[in-house]
Amino acid sequence: MLEAFYLTLIGVIAYQCVGVALFLPFEIAFPKARISITERTSGFIFLLATAPVTALVGAGVTGLKSALGIDGIPIHLAVHPAIAAVLAALWVDLQFYTVHRIEHRFFWRFHAVHHSIENLSAANSYHHWSEAIMGLTIALPLMFLDVRIGPALGLLTFLFTYQQFYIHSASKPHFGPLRWLLVDNRYHRIHHSVRPEHHHKNFGAMSPLWDWLFGTLYMPKSNEWPEVGLDNLDEPRGLKEWSTAPWRISLNSSSADV
Residue 200 in any domain: the answer is: no
Which residues, in sequence order, are bridge partners of residue 146? 74
Cβ(187)–Cβ(219) under 8 Å?
A: yes
Higher pLDDT, 3 or 162: 162
Segments of 79-194 assigned E as strands: 145-146
| 121 band by pLDDT with thresholds 50, 70 and 90 | very high
Residue 204 in any domain: the answer is: no
Please tell me the predicted confidence (pLDDT) of residue 139: 58
The predicted model gives 43-65 an average pLDDT of 86
The conformation of residue 207, written as its DSSP 8-state character, comes to: -
Residue 166 in any domain: the answer is: yes
How far is it, in rounded angstroms, from Cα 3 to Cα 28? 38
Average pLDDT, the chain: 85
Q: How far apart are the first and last CA of the chain?
A: 39
Residue 203 in any domain: the answer is: no
Cβ(128)–Cβ(47) under 8 Å?
A: no
Please tell me the predicted confidence (pLDDT) of residue 190: 97
Phi then psi dihedrals of residue 31, to 5 deg: -70, 135
* Segment among 6-15, 83-92, 95-104, 112-121 with least mean pLDDT: 83-92
Residue 241 in any domain: the answer is: yes
Please tell me the predicted confidence (pLDDT) of residue 240: 93
The predicted model gives 235-248 an average pLDDT of 92
How far is it, in rounded angstroms, from Cα 94 to Cα 40? 30
Highest-confidence range of 3-7, 75-79, 110-114, by mean pLDDT?
110-114
How far is it, in rounded angstroms, from Cα 19 to Cα 216? 28
Residue 237 in any domain: the answer is: yes
Residue 199 in any domain: the answer is: no
247: containing domain: 2-176+225-257
Which tens digit of pLDDT belongs to each residue from 201-230?
999 999 999 999 999 999 998 789 999 999
Number of structural domains in the chain = 1
Higher pLDDT, 147 or 237: 237
Predicted TM-score of the model (pTM): 0.87
The conformation of residue 193, written as its DSSP 8-state character, comes to: B
Residue 27 in any domain: the answer is: yes
How far is it, in rounded angstroms, from Cα 11 to Cα 247? 30
- Four-residue CA torsion sign, 246, 249, 252, 255: negative
| 62 band by pLDDT with thresholds 50, 70 and 90 | confident
